[in-house]
């Protein structure tokens, strides 16, 4: 794509919010510096804040200094970046008062527009309605929706229906920032550009798959939001389900957006529905109690502001089965929690053992092959293989070694997920964004579990902050004769 075809106005609603300052502005700053913007690109912050442009620029600069982790702030780069920054004051709750935004946008009436809704979803409908009322939506406009899109199928559908009154499905970019991670995209490269995995990627060769997204932090002051959602809605329905789809999907016929998304939807539709008895047996929900994190004592979840009697889970583990030919009999164990021992997101593909070991009566033990895709804190892919320990020992001794695929060694800076995703919206490429049918299929599956939990058919378990979750999660996988990949 020619960089000069990228001319657009990027409008950030909720532009003085946490996400805008922590993720969006640093990503835009990098894209600007790396030459991805047309020189006339405008980044228009929409906020209620009563301030002049100069004050806004100072605030953005301060926040960039705080949040630019990889590449430190650079005054020269900021001087170039700040020329693109604009400010418009709008109270999003008042659909009648978008004229200041209309004035700024109408300076370039034909220009492509990327509307990034970095607000609570309760504003999505009214922002789109106001954009339409002021005739600010062009056929080339895009709208980016942040998660969470609803807290169940019904509310998600209501939000989508509202947005769809004003934007076509092809203009809607539902973001799941996990899909912007380089290593997550590398799953596609690994699976579909290497012949060696093709015959191995099925129930004949794979014993089971684990997907873990563990956070060591708690809810970090976001009680109001988190208590409404919990681990299932905040992490599993979206991030973990997307990872599961990329691992389980059939090869798409091409890399175009609909081919990839068609295959992901097929996976979601193949998830085995769970009866109440299955839910009792195959799901675990838990809350953390007081404990310690990074050597400091931390309070339990229910000791947080306003959540005294909360029944919201901060941890969930589920055995997922996929009813299709490829995955028949291969369980996917997924889990996610807050205040876990360490921050760790990984996918483990556990292969079956060799059919017969010629080393067994010599006392050598063969560990089964494993492919470990780490997403956090480090991004890496490791294939664990058996190897001979060098030497003249009469008995052949074996060891497990790691074949590491580290694709980032030769690049100076690995882009952040939001850079990839923002660039894709600018290029009108929705491959890494969720289509409506994907979101709905994921909610349909999640709702069946959430409804059963709501009826208390699965007791709430507890785990001390700083642990690997409740013992019930260990039992969930141990009852199938397996164990989590926790070292």
Q: Which residues are catalytic?
A: 239
Residue that is written with structure tokens 């949040």 in the block:
67
Window of 10-18, 202-210, 301-309, 398-406 that interacts with ligand NAP by CB under 6 A: 10-18
Angstrom distance (rounded) from CA 435 to CA 143: 13
Nearer CB in complex with ligand NAP: 159/279: 159
* Smallest distance from ligand NAP to CB 49, Å: 6
The answer to whether residue 119 forms part of the interface with ligand NAP (CB under 6 A) is: yes
| Nearest to 261, CA basis, from 249, 270, 243 | 249
Strand ranges for 61-158 from DSSP E: 85-89, 112-117, 142-145
Contacts of 460 (CB under 8 A, 6+ apart): 285, 286, 287, 311, 313
The answer to whether residue 268 forms part of the interface with ligand NAP (CB under 6 A) is: no
Judged by CB under 6 A, the residue of 9, 11, 14, 150 near ligand NAP is: 14
The answer to whether residue 15 forms part of the interface with ligand NAP (CB under 6 A) is: yes
| Residue 285 φ/ψ, nearest 5 degrees | -130, 145
| Nearest to 126, CA basis, from 86, 153, 96, 169 | 96
* Smallest distance from ligand NAP to CB 229, Å: 9
The answer to whether residue 84 forms part of the interface with ligand NAP (CB under 6 A) is: no
Angstrom distance (rounded) from CA 69 to CA 79: 19
* Smallest distance from ligand NAP to CB 77, Å: 24
Window of 144-152, 254-262, 319-327, 415-423 that interacts with ligand NAP by CB under 6 A: 144-152
Judged by CB under 6 A, the residue of 7, 19, 80, 405 near ligand NAP is: 19
Judged by CB under 6 A, the residue of 6, 7, 17, 321 near ligand NAP is: 17
* Smallest distance from ligand NAP to CB 216, Å: 16
Nearer CB in complex with ligand NAP: 28/320: 28
| Nearest to 36, CA basis, from 473, 421, 406 | 421
CB 372 within 8 A of CB 352: no
H or E segment and range at residue 242: helix 241-248
Judged by CB under 6 A, the residue of 39, 62, 79, 93 near ligand NAP is: 93
Tokens of 251: 């090869």
Tokens of 38: 């047309």
| Nearest to 181, CA basis, from 309, 322, 345 | 345
Residue in the shown chain whose Cβ atom is closest to ligand NAP: 17
Nearer CB in complex with ligand NAP: 221/273: 221
Site string for ligand NAP, 22-61 (x = CB under 6 A): x------------------------xxx------------
The answer to whether residue 147 forms part of the interface with ligand NAP (CB under 6 A) is: yes
* Smallest distance from ligand NAP to CB 87, Å: 10
Judged by CB under 6 A, the residue of 61, 95, 146, 440 near ligand NAP is: 146
Nearer CB in complex with ligand NAP: 218/331: 218
Q: Are strands 296-298 and 206-214 parallel, antiparallel or unpaired?
A: unpaired
Angstrom distance (rounded) from CA 235 to CA 238: 6
The answer to whether residue 120 forms part of the interface with ligand NAP (CB under 6 A) is: yes
CB 460 within 8 A of CB 286: yes
* Smallest distance from ligand NAP to CB 24, Å: 9
Angstrom distance (rounded) from CA 259 to CA 196: 23
Cis peptide preceding 377, ω within 30 of 0: yes
Residues in contact with ligand NAP by the rule CB under 6 A: 14-20, 22, 47-49, 91-93, 118-121, 146-148, 225
């Amino acid at each position: 794509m020619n960089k000069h075809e990228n001319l657009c106005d990027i409008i950030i609603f909720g532009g003085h919010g946490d996400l805008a300052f922590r993720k969006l502005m640093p990503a835009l700053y990098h894209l600007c510096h790396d030459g991805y913007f047309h020189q006339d690109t405008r980044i228009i912050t929409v906020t209620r804040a009563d301030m002049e442009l100069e004050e806004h620029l100072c605030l953005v600069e301060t926040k960039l200094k705080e949040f630019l982790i990889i590449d430190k702030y650079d005054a020269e780069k900021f001087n170039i970046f700040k020329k693109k920054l604009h400010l418009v004051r709008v109270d999003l709750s008042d659909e009648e008062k978008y004229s200041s935004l209309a004035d700024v946008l109408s300076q370039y009436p034909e220009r492509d527009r990327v509307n990034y809704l970095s607000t609570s979803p309760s504003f999505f409908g009214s922002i789109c309605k106001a954009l339409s009322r002021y005739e600010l939506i062009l056929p080339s406009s895009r709208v980016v929706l942040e998660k969470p899109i609803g807290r169940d199928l019904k509310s998600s559908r209501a939000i989508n229906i509202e947005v769809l009154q004003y934007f076509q499905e092809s203009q809607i970019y539902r973001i799941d920032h996990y899909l912007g991670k380089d290593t997550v995209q590398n799953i596609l490269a690994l699976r579909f550009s290497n012949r060696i995995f093709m015959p191995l990627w099925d129930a004949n060769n794979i014993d089971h798959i684990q997907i873990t997204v563990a956070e060591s932090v708690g809810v970090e002051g976001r009680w109001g939001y988190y208590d409404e959602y919990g681990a299932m809605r905040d992490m599993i329905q979206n991030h973990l389900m997307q990872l599961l789809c990329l691992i389980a999907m059939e090869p798409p016929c091409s890399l175009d957006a609909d081919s990839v998304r068609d295959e992901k939807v097929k996976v979601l539709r193949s998830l085995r529905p769970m009866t109440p008895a299955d839910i009792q047996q195959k799901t675990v929900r838990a809350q953390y109690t007081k404990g310690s994190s990074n050597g400091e004592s931390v309070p339990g979840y229910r000791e947080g502001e306003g959540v005294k009697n909360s029944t919201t889970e901060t941890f969930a583990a589920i055995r997922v089965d996929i009813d299709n030919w490829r995955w028949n009999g291969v369980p996917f164990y997924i889990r996610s929690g807050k205040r876990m021992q360490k921050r760790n997101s990984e996918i483990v593909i556990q292969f079956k053992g060799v059919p017969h070991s010629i080393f067994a009566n010599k006392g050598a033990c063969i560990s089964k092959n494993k492919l470990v895709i780490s997403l956090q804190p480090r991004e890496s892919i490791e294939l664990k293989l058996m190897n001979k320990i060098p030497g003249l020992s009469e008995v052949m001794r074996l060891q497990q070694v790691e074949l590491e695929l580290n694709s980032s060694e030769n690049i100076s800076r690995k882009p952040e997920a939001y850079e990839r995703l923002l660039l894709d919206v600018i290029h009108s490429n929705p491959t890494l964004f969720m289509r409506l049918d994907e979101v709905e299929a994921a909610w349909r599956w999640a709702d069946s579990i959430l409804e059963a939990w709501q009826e208390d058919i699965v007791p709430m378990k507890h785990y001390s902050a700083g642990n690997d979750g409740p013992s019930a999660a260990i039992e969930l996988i141990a009852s199938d004769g397996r164990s989590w990949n926790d070292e």
